[in-house]
Amino acid sequence: MYLGIDPGRQKFGWALGDAEGTLVASGIVPAERLEDFVLKAARFCKGCEEWLLEGKLPEGGKIAKVFCGDGTGHARFVRELARHFEVALVEELNTTLEARSLYWDMHPPRGLKRLVPLSLLMPPRCLDDLAAFCILRRALAADAD
């Protein structure tokens, strides 16, 4: 398993994915809870249920590597994550746009919203977790090359 992190000042997104780039679980955490999240992630996300937005937390396993976006405030995240994990920085340019597209792939609009172009629709929630998943997928794709 791999962990992707989309750092931010107020909140951050996290996503667990497998080696094939499949989303296992993801969520959003208030930035002031970073240390708490890292300790729980070190126990393979035991106790992360309160932040879960997509997928299901796995029963067991190990996080092989953490991929952290290189955006806002990433140094604090890398410092904290490096206490328990191998961490690699990944460029996060346009991951929010990718996350928006991914959200609509996962949750297609229903009813009259199906008639509106997706570029005009706003997802009903923050997408930091899906941006973290995009960061994770970028890193895995770069490693495969």
- 99-121 residue pLDDT tens: 999 999 999 999 999 999 888 88
Domains, the chain, in order of start with CATH, read 2-144 (3.30.420.140)
Hey, how many other C-beta atoms are within 10 angstroms of the C-beta on 90?
23
| Distance, CA of 16 to CA of 56 (rounded, Å) | 10
Find tokens 């962990």 and name the residue: 3
- 78-107 residue pLDDT tens: 999 999 999 999 999 999 999 999 999 999
List CB contacts of 67: < 8 A, sequence separation 6 or more: 2, 3, 4, 5, 87, 88, 89, 90, 135, 136, 138, 139
Residue 53's pLDDT is what?
A: 97
Residue 72's pLDDT is what?
A: 83
